[in-house]
Structure 1
């Protein structure tokens, strides 16, 4: 079965006629008819009832149309993803990205993008602070968190889930908390960068709403990697993005101790100033980073 026949079938159904599909694809009516017949022959089912006035889907045709439409959308998405890569992209881009995503995937993705476009230069800073795009002259910012500035345009990438974790040595020595409230009896490692307070950890309530729990600990840092190292050393319990400790969890060096109860989920976005026509270099870079996030979605 040819995937382009599936796409053509979806177009015939959406447009409601063989002639309109033929015109859109610069084909003759007979070619369209033969290709749909070839599809029916391959599947050994009738897909359409044809009359002089309209086309009607058979039961099998209805099922196939849903699948064929997905193939058409996936093909269009793949085409859009690389559209313009053959053109000369040049100029300069100033961007800011959060430290965790920057170190995990964005730095490599952006360096790769620069190699693909020799006429382009990118200045990328790793910073967890919410920079002022317009005032500081940024073309693009990757943000993790809540967006409030309506004068900016945001492209959603994915959600970053947070976890509560500790090393096996810590759990062996101090026990494993079974509920969020039991964290109050433990040394918790505090992430001072958190916008809602370093000692306020979010959990899921019985009513479906999140609630904050005030925890305590003897060590705090504005650097999540420092908290990871402290947790790996068995010095306390950390509340960090899952992507930061993905490999530690897989290797058993850290344990996700409250997997069903943590309530903190933050969106990751590409953000840029409002413009009527987004420059192609930015459009392509945003898409390039999106594909890299998509490939590593299981980390988050």
Structure 2
């Protein structure tokens, strides 16, 4: 126990007039309480209490210490009361980070909707593709795609993101449609640099498991939105998460050329620091995000 703990025990002894009562309140033994009061007296070099078999009496030094120490106790109680039940409240701020694609397409509106449902809550959401330092950056929640290898974090699976290979009709009119994945080596394949497997390594399903076709092209970017626009302009073939181009495919502005053969699928996870129990506001926000993903699950 610290000196602050000793001061709080001292105040309790004065207020209750009994070592045994204080021991009972704090689930300690009488001897432990006595030792800590004795240590406090030794550290201060004064006697604080006169002890008889019937009662405790404050010394002059004890009276002076009690006047100051009771403020320490009151401040500690107020601090505890201020946060008691905070983990189960829907107030305060949540700092979170999400991938750019998910943020633009879904999460910005989803999180804003959640804030409107809980007026005492605010959310600071940053959108970036790089993996942030969740603990070092003070984040309460991060949405990530791909492998979750950090054992100090809790990752809850939300949904799987299927990738597609898509192209604008204008490109096919000029250069023809590749009929097999292997034929892609003869086409201008736009490359999305934000990939752990490599921008030029496109994954397909095979009889003996997934395999890789190494492609090439004249344009690489780490911004999925830019890649989509370039593909829509008929400038090449893109390999991207389906959610990014789902509406374009439905409208016919882009064509999914290998709908059953693309092998890449990445999990989307809600990640938060390791804790026995995530606060209620984090748990409910994760539930709300998951429900939003599932509501448009086909597009992912």
TM exceeding 0.5: yes
Secondary structure of 1:102 counterpart: helix
Secondary structure of 1:134 counterpart: coil
CA drift at 1:196: 1.3
Q: Which whole-Å CA distance do the structure 2 matches of 1:164 and 1:254 have between them?
A: 10
Q: Which position in structure 2 is the counterpart of 1:93?
A: 94
Q: Which whole-Å CA distance do the structure 2 matches of 1:193 and 1:267 have between them?
A: 15
Secondary structure of 2:136 counterpart: helix
Q: Which position in structure 1 is the counterpart of 2:20?
A: none
Q: Which whole-Å CA distance do the structure 2 matches of 1:161 and 1:298 have between them?
A: 9
Q: Which whole-Å CA distance do the structure 1 matches of 2:202 and 2:165 have between them?
A: 9
Q: Which position in structure 2 is the counterpart of 1:247?
A: 247
CA drift at 1:125: 0.5
Check conservation: 2:89, 2:281, Cα contact below 8 A.
no
Q: Which whole-Å CA distance do the structure 1 matches of 2:103 and 2:242 have between them?
A: 15
Paired positions, count: 213
TM-score by length of 2: 0.70
Q: Deviations over 1:210-229 (max 9, x none)?
A: 11211000011100111110
Matched, 1:296 2:292: no
Q: Which whole-Å CA distance do the structure 2 matches of 1:258 and 1:288 have between them?
A: 32
CA drift at 1:115: 1.2
Matched, 1:202 2:206: no
Q: Which whole-Å CA distance do the structure 2 matches of 1:147 and 1:212 have between them?
A: 22
Give 1:1-300 correspondences, 5 Å limit: 89-207=90-208, 209-300=209-300
CA drift at 1:240: 0.4
Check conservation: 1:109, 1:288, Cα contact below 8 A.
yes
CA drift at 1:88: 5.3
Structure 1, unmatched stretches of 5+, are 1-86
Q: Which whole-Å CA distance do the structure 1 matches of 2:163 and 2:123 have between them?
A: 30
- Which of the pair has more CA radius of gyration? 2
TM-score by length of 1: 0.70
Q: Which whole-Å CA distance do the structure 2 matches of 1:227 and 1:171 have between them?
A: 17
> Structure 1 residues 245-254 or 87-96, which shifts more?
87-96
CA drift at 1:206: 2.0
Q: Which whole-Å CA distance do the structure 1 matches of 2:230 and 2:277 have between them?
A: 46
Q: CA RMSD in A?
A: 1.1
Check conservation: 1:92, 1:120, Cα contact below 8 A.
yes
Check conservation: 1:88, 1:119, Cα contact below 8 A.
no
> Structure 1 residues 264-273 or 146-155, which shifts more?
146-155
Q: Which whole-Å CA distance do the structure 1 matches of 2:107 and 2:93 have between them?
A: 17
Structure 2, unmatched stretches of 5+, are 1-87
Check conservation: 1:88, 1:117, Cα contact below 8 A.
no
